[in-house]
Amino acid sequence: MTERENMKVSKSWLLELTKLEVSLDEVVRLLPLRTIGTKEITEDFIELDMKGYNRADLLSMRGVTYEVAAITDSKVNFDETDENEYIWESNKLPQAKVEVECPKLVPLYCIAKISGLRVEPSNKDWVKKLEDCGVRSVNNLADITNLAMLEYGQPMHAFDAGQVKDEVLIVRTAKDGEQIVTLDEKKRDLIPSDILICDSEKALGLAGVMGGKNCEVTDETNTILLEAAIFDPIFIRKTAQRLNLPSEASRRFQHGLTKKRLLQALSAAIKMYQDLGGNLEAISIIGDTSEPTKKITVNQGRVNSLIGVDIKPEDIENYLKRLYFGVKKIENGWELEVPYYRLDVNIEADVIEEIARMYGYEKIPSKKLEGNIPEKIDQKLFDFIYNLKISLVDLGLTEVQTYSFYSTKILSDLGFRNSDLIKVSNPMSSETEYLRDMLWPNLLEKVAFNLKQGYESIAIFEVGKVYVPRENDLPEEKYKLAIAIADGDDSIQKLYTIFQKLNEYFGDTKLEAGESELFHPVRAWQLMKGGRQVGQIGEVHPRITNKFGIEKRVAIIELEISNKQACDLWSLKIRNL
Amino acid sequence: MEDKISGIKKTYLDKISSAKSLGDLDEIFLALFGKSGEITQIPKEFSKIPKEDLKTIAPLFIQTKKELEEAIEKRREEVREEKYAKLSDEKIVLQPVLQPVLQPERLQAKIKSDGGHLHPITQLEHEITELFRKLGFQQFNAPHIDTTKYNFELLNIPEGHPAMDLWDTLYVECKKCNVNPGELLLRTHTSNAQVRIMEQNKPPIRMMILDRCFRYENLDARHEHTFDQFEIVYIDKKVNMTNLQYLSEYFLKAIFGTDIKVRMLPKYYPFVEPGAAVEGQCIFCKGKGCKICSKGWLELTGAGMIHPQVLKNGGIDPNIYSGIAWGFGIYRIALLKYGVPDVRQFLSGDLKFLEKY
């Protein structure tokens, strides 16, 4: 299975599950206004943009149906299965052999043993439902697990019982150094935070992520062990991310599942296997199946003050009932029972969002900000930076902005020691692996780039942050100014002129001769202020510029501007520039 | 043939070693490897040579070619180093070349004939900050390198939450900093300032953050891994969604013209509740639907009422105060406003691009 962040909603399946009062076109129009953004829309499906979303319920056809019914004021076309209607309630069955060694990570684990099956292609109706939802049809036995997952949101897995040694399933965490061959025939190294499904001698699958090769349903399969479980979402996420195995199943585990849906899905799937001639021989349900109802009290005043619109109480009640909340009127508000499948609704503000979107965000009017303007805080740094930029532009320089990283060329040609720099642990490429601690190297690169494309003289500057490691603290982030001039043999004199001009406003900065391999041996100076180096000015050593393909002289200056005192002084004076 | 190759080699190695300047070397290079250069010409005669002889001649030719190339490169370095050695004679006394310095026109004329240019992003950002200063918002400075605590956890995004998929994060290593591995990152959004703002200020709060953010992103015309975001944090009594609509209209009308229609849609961000996306009617097709927009609308900003837990995390009582967090990517607005076709141009340093603004 490939990674898909979205939920493809089969249109025909949706129509089957809803007594829809409006057209499908109206559903398509309303979904982004009331619920969630949509991506691709075809004759067969509506794709919901689920990236990062918290609506676990929308990863099931039933959940989507409830939502569509609510926003279109329609009714759903199915009943919630009651506990006493589950298929295993009617007759006494033996227990399937299951051991859960890590119950904290597996709050509910169910296995149903079903025999008398035969592998065949699925019927057209099943194939269409699956394909509409973007899932490939495999065969009738595997397709049932996917159909149940799509309808109820509960992932399922079918093991070939004949391949499970002693027909016993053991759920445990992996041991260090353990390996498994997954369905895609790749050998995977495991770590102790991976949850495994095993038989009495070997690992059969990575729980919630991918089945193993050694027990998949084949053409010879006639008995299956059908698994429906809830695994710890954080553990599943870690495993799926580490092994780069995102799947339809694993993202549902990550978003969160409900016990009620699990049991409904299991019951429905068993029924489908029975309709194919299968016999339910044994079943095990390990874990607490009760699901407490969430209750939230909502204050009517809070609703209207947060939305800013006076919505009539009867409208609020109506919206909440359409969303299948249990609604009880109390003084100044309501006591609500949250539908069991709405894992995203936990506090009053969540309910206020439900009311706002049912009312229609697009109908909320615009009202000016009221209240007092807060006290002023120091804005000198920002004012200073802007004024500085304007002044430099007035002097004929052009502002550039460059990456906060050093390129590999800069690192190698300037001979920077990587150990002095802040490193990105997971860079996109080696070009974005180290953060800059100076600005001018990036400017030099831009000088070279622009000379190459035909410019003869260049005068550019950048104001930006550099990053320097600091003991036991976040790295130091300093604002700096860098200027690069490549405009004839007197570039350094021109730069000095600009510096002097800035220096009038910069306070008392002195030049001191300073040597550095990066700079011209006699045309480079340190900029000192109060006995501390605050920057440098000079010609870049031709050995360096030549490496960048530059034959002209390049003069650069780099200056700290984070010093608050300097800022105070500068901001006063620079306006006069 | 062998003699010819050896002859070329001898003659040119001599020439190379006696070359005095990079110009000399360039000439030698051309004479050898140019279009009608002596080395370039040789393989053209190979067809006339018996196969047996070629077995010795071909390797000799390859070897000679390589030696000559290396000799030129080596001599280039030597010539350069000789030049570098003379740099210490270039002592100068720094003095202003132009007097008086307080004459921008003259400096301008001297340095670049057509004057300098402010980066288009700076221009747009200045326009935006001035707009919001008028409403009493002030700029807040927050770190680019931050902890998972401020970037995620205090914003209601616990480790392992699927919402983490919204931000492809770049993590940072810094031994000196003494922060646990995996806890230091390049901020993925300006929202890392939210709780800091609340910790450092008492309501009423009207702050804005405008600065660089980073994501793990492969570059193309529409994606940058380094970009600027703008965000405001507005906390007071009785702040509500109508104010959110006001801020969106206020901003988008100022940037794109007073006839733009603005609407909110539901959207999930973990640190707001209710959460909203703000769309403007497409400025290109005026809502008819075109290639650039989605059915006549452009998603422009993300916003919402600050989540009560986030207010609490910042030490603010959600029973008394409510707040708005509202923001957008500067580059996206700039692309639309200036009609820039490729987002990578902003950080390209390309003067041909920058001089247009």
Are residues A301 and A208 part of one domain? no
The residues with which A198 forms a beta bridge, in sequence order, are A170, A203
Q: Smallest Cα–Cα separation from A59: which of A9, A125, A2, A119?
A: A9
* Residues B165, A36: C-beta atoms closer than 8 Å: no
* Residues A237, B162: C-beta atoms closer than 8 Å: yes
Q: What is the pLDDT, as a whole number, of residue A213? A: 80
Rounded to 5 degrees, φ, ψ at B280 are -110, 145
pLDDT, averaged across chain A: 92
How many other C-beta atoms can be found within 10 angstroms of the C-beta atom of residue A343? Answer: 17
Sheet holding A108-115, edge to edge: A156-160, A224-230, A108-115, A279-287
CA atoms within 13 A on the CB side of B269: 25
B287, amino acid identity: G
A281 vs A262: CA distance, rounded Å = 19
Are residues A533 and A405 part of one domain? yes
**Statement: residue B96 has pLDDT above 80:** no
- pLDDT higher for A390 or B230? B230
Averaged pLDDT, B81-93: 90
- The residues, ordered by sequence, that sit 6+ positions from A57 with a Cβ below 8 Å of its Cβ are A63, A64, A66, A67, A153, A341, A342, A343, A344
Q: Smallest Cα–Cα separation from B323: which of B249, B241, B268, B231?
A: B241
Locate A303 and state its tokens. Answer: 């609703």
Residue-level length of chain A: 577
A266 vs A224: CA distance, rounded Å = 13
* Residues A233, B160: C-beta atoms closer than 8 Å: yes
- The residues, ordered by sequence, that sit 6+ positions from B1 with a Cβ below 8 Å of its Cβ are B45, B49, B53, B57
Class of domain B120-354: alpha beta
**Statement: residue A101 has pLDDT above 90:** yes
Q: What is the pLDDT, as a whole number, of residue B342? A: 93
How many other C-beta atoms can be found within 10 angstroms of the C-beta atom of residue B7? Answer: 11
- pLDDT higher for B231 or B104? B231
Q: What is the pLDDT, as a whole number, of residue A498? A: 87
Which residues of B are catalytically annotated? 167, 189, 215, 229, 272, 325
Strand, coil or helix: B245: helix
State whether residue A477 sits within 8 Å of chain B by CB.
Answer: yes
Q: For an interface test with A, which of B268, B310, B317, B326 has the most A Cβ atoms less than 10 Å from its Cβ?
A: B268
DSSP letter (8 states) at residue A491 = H
C-alpha A84, offset from chain centre: 40
Are residues A248 and A125 part of one domain? yes
**Statement: residue B336 has pLDDT above 80:** yes
Q: What is the pLDDT, as a whole number, of residue A99? A: 95
- Sequence ranges of chain B with CATH classification 3.30.930.10: 120-354
B296: alpha, beta or left? (left if phi > 0; alpha if psi -120 to 50): left
Query: B262-266 and B226-236: which strand pairing?
Result: unpaired
Rounded to 5 degrees, φ, ψ at A409 are -65, -45
Listed by number, the residues of chain B in 263-282 with a beta carbon closer than 8 Å to a beta carbon of chain A are 263-268, 270, 273-277
A278 vs B283: CA distance, rounded Å = 60
Are residues A283 and A340 part of one domain? no
- CA dihedral (B19, B22, B28, B31) in degrees, to 10, reads -160
Residue A2 included in any domain: no
Q: What is the pLDDT, as a whole number, of residue A567? A: 57
* Residues B308, A349: C-beta atoms closer than 8 Å: yes
Query: A45-48 and A7-10: which strand pairing?
Result: antiparallel
CA angle B350, B352, B357 (to 5 degrees): 100
- Residues B139-172 pLDDT 10s: 999 999 999 999 999 999 988 787 777 788 999 9
Q: Exposed, middle or buried, A74 (CB in 10 Å: 0-12/13-18/19+)?
A: middle
Q: What is the pLDDT, as a whole number, of residue A505? A: 62
- Residues of chain A contacting residue B157, judged by C-beta atoms under 8 Å apart: none
* Residues B107, A523: C-beta atoms closer than 8 Å: no
A508 vs B76: CA distance, rounded Å = 44
State whether residue B96 sits within 8 Å of chain A by CB.
Answer: yes
Report yes or no: B147 and B178 within 8 Å, Cβ to Cβ.
Answer: no
Residue A374 included in any domain: no
Residue A370 included in any domain: no
A174: alpha, beta or left? (left if phi > 0; alpha if psi -120 to 50): beta
- Residues of chain A contacting residue B201, judged by C-beta atoms under 8 Å apart: 374, 377
Locate A528 and state its tokens. Answer: 């000192």
**Statement: residue B182 has pLDDT above 90:** no
Are residues A303 and A243 part of one domain? no
Locate A123 and state its tokens. Answer: 């019927």
Kindly report each contact of residues A208-211 with a partner whose C-beta sits within 8 Å and lies 24 or more positions away, as own/partner: A208/A155, A208/A236, A208/A239, A208/A240, A208/A249, A208/A250, A208/A253, A209/A236, A209/A239, A209/A240, A209/A243, A209/A245, A209/A247, A209/A249, A209/A250, A210/A182, A210/A183, A210/A184, A210/A245, A210/A247, A211/A157, A211/A159, A211/A182, A211/A183
Q: Exposed, middle or buried, A230 (CB in 10 Å: 0-12/13-18/19+)?
A: buried
Are residues A184 and A231 part of one domain? yes
Report yes or no: A528 and A512 within 8 Å, Cβ to Cβ.
Answer: yes
Rounded to 5 degrees, φ, ψ at B351 are -65, -30
Listed by number, the residues of chain A in 271-330 with a beta carbon closer than 8 Å to a beta carbon of chain B are 305-309
A466 vs A406: CA distance, rounded Å = 11
Report yes or no: A357 and A34 within 8 Å, Cβ to Cβ.
Answer: yes
Rounded to 5 degrees, φ, ψ at B60 are -60, -45
Rounded to 5 degrees, φ, ψ at B51 are -55, -40
Averaged pLDDT, B333-350: 94
CATH classification of the domain holding A306: 3.30.56.10
Q: Exposed, middle or buried, B200 (CB in 10 Å: 0-12/13-18/19+)?
A: middle
How many other C-beta atoms can be found within 10 angstroms of the C-beta atom of residue B41? Answer: 12
**Statement: residue B314 has pLDDT above 60:** yes
DSSP letter (8 states) at residue A376 = P
Are residues A164 and A22 part of one domain? no
**Among A62-66, A490-494, B213-217, B271-275, which is the least confidently predicted range?**
A490-494
Residue A368 included in any domain: no
Report yes or no: A495 and A537 within 8 Å, Cβ to Cβ.
Answer: yes
**Statement: residue A504 has pLDDT above 80:** no
Q: How many domains does chain A have?
A: 4
- CA dihedral (B97, A457, A502, A476) in degrees, to 10, reads -140
Averaged pLDDT, A38-58: 92
A145 vs A266: CA distance, rounded Å = 9
pLDDT band of residue B59 (cuts 50, 70, 90) is confident
**Statement: residue B115 has pLDDT above 80:** no
A19 vs B86: CA distance, rounded Å = 90
Q: What is the DSSP string of B186-213?
A: E-SSGGGGHHHHHHH-PSSEEEEEEEEE
CB neighbour burial string for B269-291, b if at least 16 within 10 angstroms, e if fewer: bbbbbbbbbbbbbbbeeebeeee
Q: What is the pLDDT, as a whole number, of residue B109? A: 44
- Residues of chain A contacting residue B159, judged by C-beta atoms under 8 Å apart: 234
Query: B226-236 and B205-214: which strand pairing?
Result: antiparallel
**Statement: residue A40 has pLDDT above 70:** yes
* Helix (DSSP H) and strand (DSSP E) numbers for chain A: 17, 29
Are residues A96 and A115 part of one domain? yes
Q: What is the pLDDT, as a whole number, of residue A2? A: 33
Residue A372 included in any domain: no
B214 vs B169: CA distance, rounded Å = 8
Rounded to 5 degrees, φ, ψ at A447 are -60, -50
Q: What is the pLDDT, as a whole number, of residue A566? A: 53
CATH classification of the domain holding A111: 3.50.40.10
Q: Is the peptide bond before A192 cis (omega within 30 degrees of 0)?
A: no
- Residues of chain B contacting residue A255, judged by C-beta atoms under 8 Å apart: 162
| Domain's final residue, options A243, A258, A287 | A287
- Residues of chain B contacting residue A423, judged by C-beta atoms under 8 Å apart: 172-174
Q: What is the pLDDT, as a whole number, of residue B56? A: 85
pLDDT band of residue A538 (cuts 50, 70, 90) is very high
Are residues A214 and A91 part of one domain? yes
Listed by number, the residues of chain A in 32-51 with a beta carbon closer than 8 Å to a beta carbon of chain B are 32-37, 51
Q: Smallest Cα–Cα separation from A345: which of B241, B273, B240?
A: B273
pLDDT, averaged across chain B: 89
Q: What is the pLDDT, as a whole number, of residue B38? A: 85
State whether residue A397 sits within 8 Å of chain B by CB.
Answer: yes
Predicted TM-score (pTM) of the model is 0.90
Are residues A260 and A240 part of one domain? yes
DSSP letter (8 states) at residue A136 = -
**Statement: residue B55 has pLDDT above 70:** yes
Q: For an interface test with A, which of B92, B105, B111 has the most A Cβ atoms less than 10 Å from its Cβ?
A: B111
**Statement: residue B47 has pLDDT above 90:** no
Residue A375 included in any domain: no
A433 vs A479: CA distance, rounded Å = 21
A299 vs A349: CA distance, rounded Å = 10
* Residues B351, A474: C-beta atoms closer than 8 Å: no
**Among A141-155, B42-56, B233-247, B273-287, which is the least confidently predicted range?**
B42-56
Shortest Cα distance from B38 to chain A (angstroms)?
27
Domain that holds residue A325: 295-363
For the ranges A512-516, B296-300, B313-317, the maximum mean pLDDT occurs at: B313-317
Are residues A151 and A279 part of one domain? yes
Averaged pLDDT, A528-547: 91
- Residues B101-113 pLDDT 10s: 333 444 444 444 4
Are residues A518 and A392 part of one domain? yes
A459 vs B183: CA distance, rounded Å = 40
**Among A112-121, A143-152, A244-253, which is the least confidently predicted range?**
A244-253
Shortest Cα distance from A1 to chain B (angstroms)?
19
Q: What is the pLDDT, as a whole number, of residue B281? A: 93
Q: Exposed, middle or buried, A242 (CB in 10 Å: 0-12/13-18/19+)?
A: middle
- Residues of chain A contacting residue B248, judged by C-beta atoms under 8 Å apart: 366
- Residues A415-474 pLDDT 10s: 998 888 999 999 999 999 999 999 999 999 999 999 999 998 899 999 999 999 988 888
Residue A490 included in any domain: yes
**Statement: residue A364 has pLDDT above 50:** yes
**Statement: residue A562 has pLDDT above 70:** no
